[in-house]
Amino acid sequence: MSSILKVFLLLAVMVFISKAQLSDSGQQCLCRRVRKGIRNPSEVKDIQIYPATVFCDKVEIVVSTNSGLRYCLNPQLNAVKRLLANILAKQNISSPGSTL
């Protein structure tokens, strides 16, 4: 194989890889679909909040329930913001070592 053909082949592969990386940016998010809220807040076992990064350009809120289900909440909604504030307030009150 001639050296010119090798150079063109290498250049084509590099262009293909760089285009794939550009079109994939922001697509490494955990949440594909989001919910508007939680039906029963007492079922919440864990809440994880992931900030926006280079790999995912949005804030993600992942909720785990006592039954083992995991789903995402829409962080833009006021109902979700209130729910998170209520849950965090309850956790701060019930945490050991807190003084009132």
pLDDT for res 26 = 45
pLDDT for res 72 = 93
Residue 69 lies in a domain: yes
Residue 100 lies in a domain: no
Residue 66 lies in a domain: yes
Residue 21 lies in a domain: no
Residue 37 lies in a domain: yes
> Tell me, what CATH number does 87's domain have?
2.40.50.40
SS (H, E, C) 10-59: HHHHHHHHHHHHHHCCCCCCCCCCCECCCCCHHHEEEEEEECCCCCCCCC
Could you read off the pLDDT tens digit of each residue along the chain, which spans 100 residues? 688 888 888 888 887 777 666 555 446 888 888 888 777 777 888 888 899 888 888 889 998 989 898 989 998 888 888 877 887 787 777 666 545 4
Q: What is the domain count for the chain?
A: 1
CA angle 45, 50, 70 (to 5 degrees): 35
CA angle 13, 16, 22 (to 5 degrees): 140
The domain of 74 spans 28-93
The pTM (predicted TM-score) of the whole model is 0.60
Residue 57 lies in a domain: yes
